[in-house]
Each structure stands twice: as structure tokens, then as C-alpha cells.
Amino acid sequence: MRTEYCGNISIKFLLKKVYLCGWIEKIKNFGHFLFFYIKDVTGYIQIIVKEKNIKNFKKIKNLKNGFCVQILGIVIKRYKNNINKKIINGDIEIVAEKINILSKSKNIPIDLLKKNKEKNRLKYRYLDLRNENMQKNLIIRSKIIYIIHKFMQKNNFIHIETPIITKSTPEGARDYIIPSRKHIGKFYALPQSPQIFKQLIMISGFDKYYQIARCFRDEDMRSNRQPEFTQIDLEASFIDEKKIKIISQKLINKIFKKFCKIKFKNIKTITYKKSIKKYGTDSPDIRNPLKIIELTKLFKTDYILKKYKKIIGIYIPKKNNLSLKKITHYKNLIKTYNINNFFFIKVLKNINNINIYKDIKINKKIIKKLIKLYKIKEKDIIIMFITNKKNIYKKLGEIIKKIANDFNLIDKNSYKAIWITEFPMFKKNKKGKFSTVHHPFTLPKTKSIKKIKKYPKKILSRSYDLVINGKEVGGGSVRINNVKMQKLIFKIINLSKKEQKEKFGFFLNALKYGPPPHSGIALGLDRIMMIITKNLDIKNIIAFPKTSKSSCIMTNAPDKIKNSFLKKLYIKIKK
């Protein structure tokens, strides 16, 4: 039906006849002739329709935006005054000789050339996907998946699909469940990840596995989270975290080199503890020039520490052109975090100019040591915090993020990556019960079962997260390959022997049959896409996303159960 795509036609096609298929946009009717753009997945090209050239011109005059058409025409040059520099082929147009209306359209309810309300975009998603940016995003996504497959196959990874309808196993989020028709009262679950299955694949002897995996988690929505998402899942036997990180970096570099023309060299690694103390978060944006500095040791002989346990600072280098006046405007923001003991220092010709908001005496000798230790230069600023609060670092992390965003201190066109390692193995909830920070299949850093039993809160894990531009794009770990260790971890997170057998019996059984040492990682395809396309909302890089309430406005899902069997089953469950 067509000989060419709209976006591929260039000056090389001058005076040639072409067949095109697509949708009409921006139609202008001038009586005896009309202009419009025809669009397909590759782009636009302008069509001119003259009464003298078309037999059925009266019918053609009734064309509207959104009509699907086939056009036969000749490529000609545009007049200089009519050249459109906003599109690739804006120097040419097509004089139509024949137009076939393939299907008509009602008035388009959204404007594809302007911003539309999210509700309308999602309701008419099939029309919203005609938008040039949306199509560009999904084409990039497709190309990234091709690169992944090519890279993994080249590195001898085997693509293996794992079940979508499976058993419910606790992995940190709520499951989506499916009632069984043949087993009344029993349920399948959609997988939160392929975690257990990929470990079973290692036990079965496939030493290099990967999958572009669909995952499902019933969680509250955020701008970077959807109930169903895609991860680049990989696992390998007889290798440790070092090798997994190398493989991941190579794959990430392949993707970012293709679409962002950059390559991450020597990605730094820091521990979770250092990340919290330096950046106030475990997913730092290391493009931010503002840092948290630890000052407690400097003041260890000072009287202040008799009352307060910590003295911490935010270091603001002068090159960011932030004056003391601008920074002190943040005193009210700081107070909203319940931080009251703080003051500002600006170095002026090696003399301290101190602005204090509390009646606190500061030893100037210590300030001079501070200036020397951190090589603080003239006009640099430090905000000092004197506190007993344990969670102070995360609050300061929010403050430095806020200051950096307010004053555009982060180069939005740059890309920086960092590995965060040695996460705590466990965390406690408000009820005093332990859960795992990553997941319960992560290998602790210590092999001592006695230590794990006695000091679970102090135990670190052999885990690692990859963070790019402040977004966690991947997480993984060395896995447990010892059934005794796995049972211990389950016990610490309050799974009784009965629950272990019910939920993980098949997996614990598999660990008895010579499981190899293995490691893996899951890289978030959606978050990688967000970074590459510079989208702040995950919905812009997914074809058919859900709303913030996990619903689909277009299909009206979730919907009431109409099937009589399922309806009866639902009533039984509810009772």
C-alpha cells in the first residue's frame, strides 16, 4: 500500500512518485486547494492537494484531522518562504495525484501537538501514542531491548522465561493474586520478581541466565513506579559481586553510549554507611556539588559534645555563587525538619564570619582546624548542625537536594553513576520485628551463624545497588547457597518452620542438592528509560500505564467481576 515512510522522504526523492499511508494532521482548506500533514511512525511530510490534480476533489475537501489515508503523489521542492525548519523534510512537499480514504475519524479528543491533561491522555492512550515524543520513547525502548538481547547472547547468557502464574512468596511487597478455577479456595500470584526461579535455574546447571522480565507489585504509586514493570534480570554461577558489576557496567555503557553518547568510566563504589553520611541517602545524585561533612571528631574536646552527640555540616563551595544571604533564607526550611541548633559560617580572607541563630559559643581554633582539614577556601560556606538526632543525615540529604534544585547547581545534561554496597542485612519495624533490607536470599557478609544470631542488626550483606543521577537503576546481591543459612535468615524475619515449609519448602529442598555459589542483579528498564529520555514520569515511557491509583482509565480496569463462576468465588472469599 505504500512505497515509502513519511519521515524517510528527503530531497533525494525529488520529482519521484511515492505511495504513502498515514493520518492527517493540521489540515488547512483554501477552497480550490488544501494543505495538510500526513504522519506515520517515522514522522511528517506536507501534502498539497489541488482541485485540478484530483478527480474526486469534492470528496477530498471533506477530509478531517485523524482520517487514515493512502496518497499517491510527486515530491517537489517547497518555496523558500514556506520551508519548515522544525521537521527533517521541511524543504520538500508532495503534490497529491490520488487520495484513498482508508478510514474516517471522529473529531480527535486530544491535541497531539500540545500538552493535554493526563486524564485525557490515558483515556485516549491509543491516540496519545500517535504523539511524536511518545512514539520516539517507545522506539528507543525497543532498541534498548534489542541491544540487551544482543549483548547478553554475545556474553553467553541464555534467555529463559520464568512463570507468570506462580506461588505467592513474600518478597517485600503485596502480591497480585489470581483465583484458581480448578482448585477452589487456592490462588496463584503474579511474580514480584523472578528471584527464586532464577536461583533454581542456577541449581539446575545453567550458569548464565537472563530475561527481560515482567514484574508485578501491589504498591503505592510514585512518579517512578508502576504496579507492573520491566527489569533486565540476570544471574550467573561461580562468580562474585565484582564480576556481576563488571557485566552490568558493560551493558549500561552499551546502552548509554548509543543514546546519550557517553560512557561511564571507573564507576566508584561506596558503602551504604558512607553514602548516608556523605549524601544523606542510599541513592545519591553525585552531580550535586553540595556534600555533608562529619565534624564530631573535631569537636571531641569541646564542651558542646557534653550535651550534643553529633556535629555535622553541609559544605557549599564558592564556585556555586551562593551568597550567605541566599543560604540563610533556608533557616525556616531547616527548622521544619525539627533542627534548631544550627548556624552558618562563611570564610572571608581566612577569618571566620559567623552568623549564629542560637546562643552557642564556638571555639574559633576548632573552626580554623575545620577550614584546614577540608581545604575550605575564601567565600566557601558551611552550615553547621549540633544535634542528638539519629536520622539527621537523611534530613540533611533532603536539604542539599532542595538547595541544589533551587539554584540549578546540577548539570541536567550530565550523567554520573555510583555503586552502593554493604547494605544492612536487616531492618526493624515499629513493632520491633526484623525484615531484610534487600530480600531474604541475600548472603550476609559474615559466614558466622553465631554472629548473625547474636547481632542481626549489625550484620551487613553482600548486596549492591547501581545509582545513576540519583535514581536507583539496579540492585543485586551474592545469593545464599546453603540451606542452614537460608533457614536462619527466614527465622530472623519471623518465619516459623511451618511457614518456611509452606512458602519456601520447594526452594529449601532445592538448596539441598549442591547449589553453586551464584550472584545476580536486576536492572530497571523503565528507570533507565526515564534517565535516557529525561522523563520525570514513568507513564511517558510505557505504552499503557496505570494511574496513580493503579487503574486504567482507558479499559476501566480493575472492573467488577462478570463471570458467574468468578463472581461466586469472590463472594465465598469475601465471606
Contact predicate 288/401, CB 8 Å:
yes
Q: What is the pLDDT of residues 120-131, one digit of tens each?
A: 999 999 999 999
Query: Within 13 Å of residue 285, how many CA atoms lie on the same side as its CB?
Result: 21
Residues above pLDDT 70, as percent of the chain: 93
| Residue 197 burial (C-beta neighbours within 10 Å; 0-12, 13-18, 19+) | buried
Q: Which of 123-137, 138-152, 285-299, 405-419 bottoms out in mean pLDDT, i.e. has the lowest? A: 285-299
pTM of the model: 0.91
Q: What is the pLDDT of residues 474-498, one digit of tens each?
A: 999 999 999 999 999 999 999 999 9
Q: What are phi and psi of 100, to 5 degrees?
A: -110, 125
Average model confidence (pLDDT) for the chain? 90
Which residues lie below 8 Å from residue 156, measured CB to CB, with a gap of 6+?
Answer: 208
Which residues lie below 8 Å from residue 292, measured CB to CB, with a gap of 6+?
Answer: 277, 278, 279, 280, 312, 313, 314, 315, 393, 396, 397, 400
Map 267-326 to HEC letters.
CEEEEHHHHHHHHCCCCCCCCCCCEEEECHHHHCCCCHHHHCCEEEEEEECHHHCCCHHH
Which residues lie below 8 Å from residue 474, measured CB to CB, with a gap of 6+?
Answer: 232, 248, 465, 466, 521, 522, 523, 524
Bridge partner list, 142: none
pLDDT at 368: 77
For residue 357, pLDDT beyond 50: no
Q: Looking at per-residue confidence, does 58 or 355 come out higher? A: 58
**550 three-class SS:** coil
Q: What is the pLDDT of residues 13-23, one digit of tens each?
A: 999 999 999 99
| C-alpha cell of residue 457 | 542488626
For residue 352, pLDDT beyond 70: no
- Alpha-carbon span 282 to 476, nearest angstrom: 14
Q: What is the pLDDT of residues 156-180, one digit of tens each?
A: 999 999 999 999 887 778 899 998 8
For residue 213, pLDDT beyond 60: yes
**390 three-class SS:** coil
- Alpha-carbon span 265 to 346, nearest angstrom: 35
| C-alpha cell of residue 314 | 553541609
For residue 307, pLDDT beyond 50: yes
Question: For 367-375, what is the mean pLDDT?
Answer: 79
- Alpha-carbon span 401 to 280, nearest angstrom: 9
pLDDT at 353: 55
For residue 306, pLDDT beyond 80: no
| CA-based torsion, 11, 12, 16, 20: positive or negative | negative
Q: What is the pLDDT of residues 80-106, one digit of tens each?
A: 898 988 889 999 999 999 999 999 999
pLDDT at 344: 82
- Alpha-carbon span 177 to 166, nearest angstrom: 9
Q: What is the pLDDT of residues 180-191, one digit of tens each?
A: 888 888 899 999
Confidence of residue 305 (pLDDT cuts 50, 70, 90): low
Peptide bond into 440 cis (omega under 30): no
pLDDT at 279: 96
Contact predicate 427/435, CB 8 Å:
yes
pLDDT at 356: 46
- Alpha-carbon span 167 to 209, nearest angstrom: 21
CA angle 241, 242, 246 (to 5 degrees): 115
Q: Where are the domains of the chain?
A: 6-103, 135-267+418-541, 288-410
Question: For 371-385, what is the mean pLDDT?
Answer: 82
Contact predicate 210/233, CB 8 Å:
yes
CA angle 341, 346, 347 (to 5 degrees): 135
Q: What is the pLDDT of residues 216-260, one digit of tens each?
A: 999 888 888 999 999 999 999 999 999 999 999 999 999 999 999
Contact predicate 389/343, CB 8 Å:
no
pLDDT at 378: 78
Q: Are strands 208-216 and 158-159 parallel, antiparallel or unpaired?
A: parallel
pLDDT at 566: 62
| C-alpha cell of residue 319 | 564556585
- Alpha-carbon span 339 to 268, nearest angstrom: 32
| C-alpha cell of residue 424 | 544492612
> Given 3.40.190.10, 3.55.40.20, 1.10.443.10, 3.30.930.10, which CATH number is that of 135-267+418-541?
3.30.930.10
Contact predicate 190/164, CB 8 Å:
yes
Q: Which of 283-287, 431-435, 448-452 bottoms out in mean pLDDT, i.e. has the lowest? A: 431-435
Bridge partner list, 72: 19, 98
Q: Which of 126-140, 360-374, 416-430, 478-492 bottoms out in mean pLDDT, i.e. has the lowest? A: 360-374
pLDDT at 514: 96
Report the CATH fold assignment for 288-410. Answer: Gyrase A; domain 2 (3.30.1360)
Dihedral through CA 82, CA 87, CA 89, CA 90, nearest 10? 0
pLDDT at 524: 97
Question: For 531-557, what is the mean pLDDT?
Answer: 94
- Alpha-carbon span 451 to 59, nearest angstrom: 84
> Given 3.40.50.12160, 2.40.50.140, 3.40.50.150, 2.60.40.1250, which CATH number is that of 6-103?
2.40.50.140
Q: Looking at per-residue confidence, does 140 or 350 come out higher? A: 140
Q: What are phi and psi of 265, to 5 degrees?
A: -105, 135
For residue 302, pLDDT beyond 70: no
Q: Which residues of 443-467 are buried (b: 16+ CB within 10 A; e: fewer)?
A: bbbbeeeeebeeebeebbbbbbbbb
Which residues lie below 8 Å from residue 183, measured CB to CB, with a gap of 6+?
Answer: none
Confidence of residue 47 (pLDDT cuts 50, 70, 90): very high
Q: Tell me which range, 113-122, 326-335, 478-487, is most confidently predicted by mean pLDDT.
A: 478-487
Contact predicate 221/122, CB 8 Å:
no
Question: For 276-287, what is the mean pLDDT?
Answer: 96
Q: Which of 293-297, 430-434, 461-465, 565-569 bottoms out in mean pLDDT, i.e. has the lowest? A: 565-569
Confidence of residue 119 (pLDDT cuts 50, 70, 90): very high
pLDDT at 290: 92
Q: Looking at per-residue confidence, does 362 or 60 come out higher? A: 60
Question: For 518-544, what is the mean pLDDT?
Answer: 96
